[in-house]
């Protein structure tokens, strides 16, 4: 279940089960459901740089099982399904060797079942196909109201673009940034950095290793006053960060300028100004949210992704049944999930913003 105040959203299904199914309760009546838009987002999640052999098996398409009539919501729960083509595990043998960084060992401590395939089925990032189905539907509706949610790869491993250096002091040209990121299959808004990152990914693929990275999410067109400062479960920043932290491999989420803790107060806080009779800010170090409430500026979020824990290079582990040291087994995986994470991050952020706007009666 996502952290939302007005919608109830669930994603269910195993990585190698028949399908990933998403369920949305609380949708208003009569909102347009654009299947083509959802399928384009699913394709972008699937076909990008760093992907492994699993994605060659899949051909993700959404199937609407309920909640619409003539491509509009009916007010009933909306049910979206994405079928799995890769429906069989790699082996019928139990997997008793936990992979460092994966859910395997922690889940074993919780449930005591030594066959860790069962845990991996539920913890797999394959389930984010359901998140994208839901989030892209809501993202499309946000765009109809002028709210734009875009994410970009800021870094892969130690390769980092500098295009975001001034994003807290200057207005971001979202149209230009989106155009740049669509020029490559890593969704990086800097072609020179993209080439370096692509080469690094190729080297890691050859060496059997994996990579993490950072993503910048920028949400423009958001009205002020979304969220609530008075209760923790209504704070917009708390809801956004909780949902983003639930994406597999995310290890940190930061809203606003990540260097704000190093600043003195007179530089850190965004002074007011007036331009053409309108109140505005001289900077945006707060990242568009103050006291849990949107302040009308762009919402700027940075998410940190660890390297994928399934890798061809073997790591030291143990057999939990035999209680002996052993190297990890290889389970197929991507080299990096940072590009598909761009699409997932956009969709997760869209869920949080749509939910907040629903409370304000925008939809």
- Kindly report, residue by residue over 263-299, the tens digit of the pLDDT: 999 999 999 999 999 999 999 999 999 999 999 999 9
What are 5-42's pLDDT values in tens digits?
999 999 999 888 899 999 999 999 999 999 999 999 99
Instruction: Point out which residues pair with 155 in neighbouring strands.
Output: 160, 214
Backbone angles phi, psi at 353, to 5 degrees: -70, -40
Q: How far apart (Å, rounded) are the C-alpha atoms in residues 189 and 176?
A: 9
List the CATH code of the domain at 8-359: 3.60.150.10
Look at phi and psi of residue 324 and say left if phi exceeds 0, alpha if psi is from -120 to 50, else beta: beta
pLDDT band for position 93 (cuts 50, 70, 90): confident
Q: How far apart (Å, rounded) are the C-alpha atoms in residues 25 and 6?
A: 9
pTM for this structure? Answer: 0.93
**Is 21:81 a contact under the CB 8 Å cutoff?**
yes
User: Quick check: 65 and 81 in contact, CB under 8 A?
Assistant: yes
- Per residue in 315-337, pLDDT (tens digit) is 999 999 999 999 998 766 789 99
Q: What are phi and psi of 223, to 5 degrees?
A: -70, 155
Nearest to 295 by CA among 218, 216, 227: 227
Q: What is the DSSP letter of 99?
A: P
Give the chain's largest Cα–Cα span: 73
Residue-level pLDDT at 90: 56
Cβ-contact 163, 177 below 8 angstroms: yes
pLDDT over threshold 60, residue 151: yes
pLDDT band at 117 (very low <50, low <70, confident <90, very high): confident
Segment 220-234 shows an average pLDDT of 93
Distant-in-sequence, close-in-space partners of 162: CB < 8 Å, separation ≥ 6 = 190, 193
pLDDT at position 313 is 86
Compute the average pLDDT of residues 100-127: 90
Torsion angles phi and psi, residue 264, rounded to 5: -85, 160
Closest to 300 in 3D by CA, of 289, 310, 311: 289
Q: C-alpha angle 19/151/333, rounded to 5°?
A: 45
Burial pattern 82-100, b for ≥16 Cβ within 10 A else e, equals bbbebeeeeeeeebbbbbe
C-alpha 84/C-alpha 14 separation (Å) is: 9
Q: Please tell me the predicted confidence (pLDDT) of residue 56.
A: 56
Average pLDDT, the chain: 92
Q: Tell me which residue of 307, 308, 311, 305 sits closest to 341, measured CA to CA.
A: 305
Write down the domain spans for the chain. Answer: 8-359
* Per-residue tokens: 181: 């990121």
């Amino acid at each position: 279940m996502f952290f939302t105040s007005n919608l109830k959203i669930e994603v269910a299904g195993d990585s190698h089960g028949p399908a990933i199914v998403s369920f949305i309760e609380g949708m208003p009546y009569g909102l347009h459901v654009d299947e083509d838009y959802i399928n384009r987002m699913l394709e972008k999640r699937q076909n990008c740089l760093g992907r492994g052999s699993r994605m060659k098996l899949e051909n993700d398409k959404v199937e609407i099982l309920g909640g619409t009539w003539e491509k509009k919501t009916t007010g009933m729960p909306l049910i979206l399904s994405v079928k799995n083509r890769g429906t069989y595990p790699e082996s019928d043998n139990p997997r008793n060797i936990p992979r460092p960084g994966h859910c395997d060992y922690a889940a074993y401590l919780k449930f005591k079942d030594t066959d860790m395939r069962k845990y991996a089925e539920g913890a797999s990032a394959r389930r984010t196909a359901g998140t994208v189905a839901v989030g892209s539907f809501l993202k499309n509706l946000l765009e109809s109201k002028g709210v734009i949610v875009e994410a970009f790869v800021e870094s892969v491993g130690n390769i980092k673009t500098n295009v975001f250096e001034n994003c807290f002091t200057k207005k971001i040209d979202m149209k230009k940034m989106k155009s740049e990121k669509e020029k490559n299959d890593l969704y990086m808004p800097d072609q020179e950095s993209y080439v370096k990152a692509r080469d690094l990914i190729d080297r890691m693929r050859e060496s059997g290793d994996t990579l993490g990275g950072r993503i910048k999410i920028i949400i423009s067109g958001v009205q002020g006053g979304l969220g609530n400062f008075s209760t923790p479960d209504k704070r917009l920043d708390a809801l956004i960060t909780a949902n983003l932290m639930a994406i597999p491999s995310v290890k940190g989420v930061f809203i606003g300028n990540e260097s704000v803790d190093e600043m003195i107060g007179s530089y850190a806080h965004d002074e007011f100004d007036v331009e053409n009779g309108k109140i505005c800010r001289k900077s945006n170090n707060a990242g568009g949210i103050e006291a849990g409430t949107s302040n009308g500026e762009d919402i700027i979020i940075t998410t940190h992704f660890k390297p994928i824990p399934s890798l061809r290079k073997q790591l030291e582990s143990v057999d939990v049944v035999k209680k002996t040291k052993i190297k990890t087994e290889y389970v197929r995986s991507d080299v990096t999930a940072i590009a598909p994470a761009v699409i997932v991050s956009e969709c997760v952020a869209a869920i949080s913003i749509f939910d907040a706007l629903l409370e304000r009666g925008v939809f």
